[in-house]
Structure 1
Amino acid sequence: MDKVPDSSPEKMDDSELLEMTQQDPVQAKLLKQSLEHLASGLAGDTLKEMAQEVISGRLGLREAANVVAYTEQAVEQSAPLAERWASMSESERAALAAEGRRRLDEEQRQLEDEQRTEAEKRSSAKARHDGRGWSLY
């Protein structure tokens, strides 16, 4: 009997995002959110396609960066942001950087809360079902 290929889409391997962000789970989460925003079409069809390919796992992010059409579109889309940054005063840049740090700090707190909640769930489930205090004899 021939094996039918699995048609269900794979998901992106988050380990690549962690590697690209120097094992920073908060930065990796934000990178993934950025890809999800791009996949919505926010930056045009080309970057939408790229993000969907990466999120689906069909293409790695590093591989996508080597696709000329994707990089050209990314450069084109980022040009207005670079111009805006260049036109900002030092105080505006500092305020934007401070806002970025606040967002990173908030994401870090949320991640720690999620991890703590998961750890508590695992420990309470284990405590109820670990078999200690019960004997057949």
Structure 2
Amino acid sequence: MTESRDSGRQFDDSELLEMSQGDPAQARLLRKSLETLAAGHGGDALKEMAQEVLSGRVGLRDAVNVSAYADQLIERAAPMAEKWASLTEAQREELAAEGRRAIAAEQERIDEERRAAPGEGDSHKSRHDGRGWSLY
């Protein structure tokens, strides 16, 4: 992929966090979905859309308002909507529970990363970390 004049921009997860109502696990799963689309698992138009969003050149809300992208999203979602409509209430609840488990598992990964993060710097003591300093 060639560098463009916008290549200095970076994707900001804050939009995903806002869209997921402040839930970091849902935001991360949304980002993973975008990464899956960017890898080409949704067709060329959705690949382009996801790459544009992840590069920071366009926001996700703006991207889904582009007719070429919106048309592809609708086309890809239609079979899922039909499948959902054909499910029993018990099957729908099982899928919802599966989704809740996926979100909980992602939140656990986030929590693990946060717990591991403070300990990363402990093994390497900086000259300027202030620990062990004494005037004497």
| Deviation beyond 3 Å, 4+ runs, structure 1 | 5-9
Change (3 A) 1:90 1:105: same
**Match of 1:87?**
86
- How many Å apart are 1:7 and its aligned residue? 6.6
Change (3 A) 1:76 1:90: same
Change (3 A) 1:7 1:56: closer
- What are the Cα deviations for residues 92-125 of structure 1, in whole angstroms up to 9, with x where unaligned? 1111111111111111111000011002224x26
Gaps of 5+ in 1: none
Whether the aligned pair in 1 keeps the contact of 2:6 and 2:57 (CA below 8 Å) is no
Number of residue pairs the alignment of both structures matches: 131
Scaled by the length of structure 1, the TM-score of the pair is: 0.86
**Match of 2:67?**
68
- How many Å apart are 1:135 and its aligned residue? 2.7
Identity of aligned pairs, percent? 56
Change (3 A) 1:69 1:6: closer
Paired residue type of 1:131: G
- What are the Cα deviations for residues 7-64 of structure 1, in whole angstroms up to 9, with x where unaligned? 7453211111111111111111001000011111111111111001001111110110
3-state SS of paired residue (1:132): coil
Gaps of 5+ in 2: none
**Match of 1:16?**
15
3-state SS of paired residue (1:70): helix
Q: Output the CA distance in 2 between the equivalents of 1:96 and 1:12.
A: 30
Scaled by the length of structure 2, the TM-score of the pair is: 0.87
Q: How does 1:30-69 map to 2 (within 5 A)?
A: 30-69=29-68
3-state SS of paired residue (2:83): helix
C-alpha RMSD of matched pairs (Å)? 2.0
Change (3 A) 1:86 1:7: closer
Q: Output the CA distance in 2 between the equivalents of 1:6 and 1:93.
A: 46
Q: Output the CA distance in 1 between the equivalents of 2:118 and 2:54.
A: 27
Where is the helix percentage greater, Structure 1 or Structure 2?
A: 1
Q: Output the CA distance in 2 between the equivalents of 1:120 and 1:7.
A: 36
Change (3 A) 1:7 1:63: closer
